[in-house]
Amino acid sequence: MIRHFLSVTAGISLLLISVPLIAGEADELTRKINAISAEETGYPEAVQAVAALSKMNAEAIPEVLAAMKQERPVAANWLRGAVEAIADKARQEGSPISNDTLIEFIQTQSHSAKSRSVAYHLLKQQDETAALQLIPSFENDASLELRLLAVEKLMDDARANLAAEKTQEAIATYQQALTATRNAHQASVIADALKELEVEVDTTEHFGFLKNWHVIAAFEFAKGDGFDAVYPPEKEIDLAATYPGKLIDEIPAPAKWQPLKLGPGEKSVDFNKAFAPVKEVVGYAVTTFDSDQAQEVELRWGSANATKVWVNGDLVASDKVFHAGDNFDQYSAKAKLNPGENTILVKLVQNEQTQSWTNVWKFELRVCDHLGTAIADAKP
């Protein structure tokens, strides 16, 4: 993939002459780039398409930006390279894309978050003042990158209020920033600032991490086959039931459910703490989430272990990835909630790796909308 990208860069660097945009031509070229597959097919055609796009004048930029698909990040990076090549050449020739065109593109929410972010950075390159004036409008934007800018400005405003001894204004602005942010680091910084102003904030509540679970372990890892093995919790949720489970000294059989309730500030369902720090095991966690209406939501979770997630018995995600990081909102899946009680089941698989950094067997999970805004459990 790096080899192909270098080929694209080299091809772009050789282009010197801009050509007028021909109706339909940009569309055909962007289709070839979006046809790049995960199996690394379609690259020769994409290289030629990027080179051809990069010859076009600034009028082609909105069409190329609009072709960026959030679900095709590799192709989007190639398209971004073409856009930047077109924009650089247009500026050198004294005919850049107009600010109004870029601003209209940025403000059109139907475009992908990535394409709008690229358009913003193009605007900032050629007119930083015009770009900065847009930042407050990103406070509730679907683009998390643009929203990040708006929250950063609110945090700067709060610090300025504090420096001017306007404590109440600073608190109000920090709280506004906390409501807007969907970034764990920003939330932590804001919470610390509010704490210094004697305002307590629980970021786990803010982001809506689920805290009341039942957990059960251990089942056989079976040299990795345990990830796809169907153990009893996948067939029934009976909190009073017991199962044979895996025979290990650290977790006495039979396997049985036990409650696990997280305290203030806690977000991780930690099987090492609930049971024992063991390897080559499978565990499950189950919770209920009450919805006040039928609705489509996003489940977002993070874990260094392999995971499967079910909602009301339907498998919504399967990620057989071990110890490749444990990040905020690392995984996400759409799910449909019924009115009333819904059951969320998580399968957590710990493998055989023995390095010290693999001694984790935990996950964190929250329910939110497509913007990452926490949806509250409707339980009374």
Closest CA to 319 of 329, 305, 300, 335: 305
Say yes or no: 131 and 150 in one domain. Answer: no
Say yes or no: 240 and 336 in one domain. Answer: yes
Report the distance separating Cα 146 and Cα 151, nearest Å: 9
CA 299 from chain center: how many Å?
Answer: 11
Domain finish residue from 94, 121, 137: 137
Q: Is 281 helix (H, G, I), strand (E, B) or coil?
A: strand
Say yes or no: 154 and 132 in one domain. Answer: no
Q: How many domains does the chain have?
A: 3
Say yes or no: 279 and 238 in one domain. Answer: yes
Q: What does each of the 380 residues of the chain score in pLDDT, given as a tens digit?
A: 434 444 444 444 444 455 555 656 788 889 888 888 655 667 788 888 888 888 888 999 999 999 998 778 888 888 999 999 999 999 999 999 999 999 999 999 999 988 999 999 999 999 999 999 999 999 989 888 899 999 999 999 999 999 999 999 999 999 999 999 988 889 989 999 999 999 988 888 889 999 999 999 999 999 999 999 999 999 999 999 999 999 899 998 899 999 999 988 899 999 999 999 999 999 999 999 999 999 999 999 999 999 999 999 999 999 999 997 777 888 999 999 999 999 999 999 999 998 888 999 999 999 999 888 899 999 87
Q: Which two tokens stand for residue 124?
A: 């900032």
| Domain residue limits at 193 | 145-201
Domain finish residue from 159, 181, 201: 201
Using a cut of 0.75, tell me whether the model's pTM lies above it.
no
* CATH code of the domain in which 222 resides: 2.60.120
